[in-house]
Amino acid sequence: MAGILEGKVALITGAGSGIGRATSRIFAREGAKLVIADLVEAAGEQTLKLLQDLGAEAIFVKADVAQAADADRIVARAVAAYGRLDCAFNNAGIEGAAGVTHKCTEENWARVIAINLTGVWLCMKAEITQMLAQGGGGAIVNTSSDAGLLGVKGMPAYVASKHGVAGLTKAAAIEYGRSGIRVNAVCPGPIRTPMMGRLLQDRPGVEESFVRAEPLKRMGEPEEIGEAVAWLCSDRSSYVTGLPMPVDGGLIAT
């Protein structure tokens, strides 16, 4: 049976670990041809090997999404390899340094915003330009966060960047809907990723508080985000656009 992304050309940033790697494997399972990107070359190459071992058509591009030339280059590589771009998952992101607002440095603020928000915008610009050049149609999913829908203390730059992604997603959905380009976001809750591992290491007791707060009473796995992204990029979600979609075990509902 064909997968829900059979024959589609998909781009995934931040594919070297965590949600990006898990989503890449799900896209491969669902039949997509993949262009994966990451700033960390070794991690990206590891994901590429995993995909090739699964029999997927895939290429890896080392790229810094905060650089416009790199965002353009990822899309150009997709078109050079496969002739088009059908869907994209703009997932690359960092958490930045912990600390309350008045202790957040300008350097930390600039770095987090550059990668988490400006990087998403730059990738979207390149992706949408290509989709329009193809005659329209396509699906884009951005990684926001529950922290893009709620306030979270001690991470002002991260929270601001993820709120920005949610807003940018809504704006683009309105702008390009008539061209058949759908734009959505996933808003993960506490997911077992390397990023979450670093946060938990610095904050004893936080995992227990997450579990207590969630209706499902557990943390999520990267694959659970990837399944949502695959659906949003597929034709099965053809009437869904402009949605910052929580995938968080019900945390935001509490």
DSSP string over 194-243: HHHHHHHHHSTTHHHHHHHHSTT-S-B-HHHHHHHHHHHHSGGGTT--S-
What is the bridge-based pairing of β-strands 9-13 and 138-143? unpaired
From 17, 24, 144, 145, the catalytic residue = 144
Catalytically annotated residue among 162, 176, 234, 237:
162
Classify residue 106 by burial, with Cβ atoms within 10 Å: 0-12, 13-18, 19+: exposed
Exactly one of 17, 33, 145, 158 is catalytic; name it. 158
User: Does 144 qualify as catalytic in the annotation?
Assistant: yes
**Among 235, 172, 249, which residue's Cα sits nearest to residue 5?**
235
Phi and psi (nearest 5°) for 25?
-65, -35
Eight-state DSSP code of residue 191: B
Torsion angle of C-alpha atoms 43, 45, 46, 50, degrees rounded to 10: 140
Helices (H) and strands (E) in the chain, counts: 9, 7
User: Cβ–Cβ contacts within 10 Å for residue 133, how many?
Assistant: 11
Give dist(CA 185, CA 147) in Å, integer.
13
158 is catalytic: yes
**Contact call for residues 1 and 80 (beta carbons, < 8 A):** no
Contact 93, 143 (CB under 8 A): yes
Token couple for 63: 């790229």
Catalytic positions: 144, 158, 162
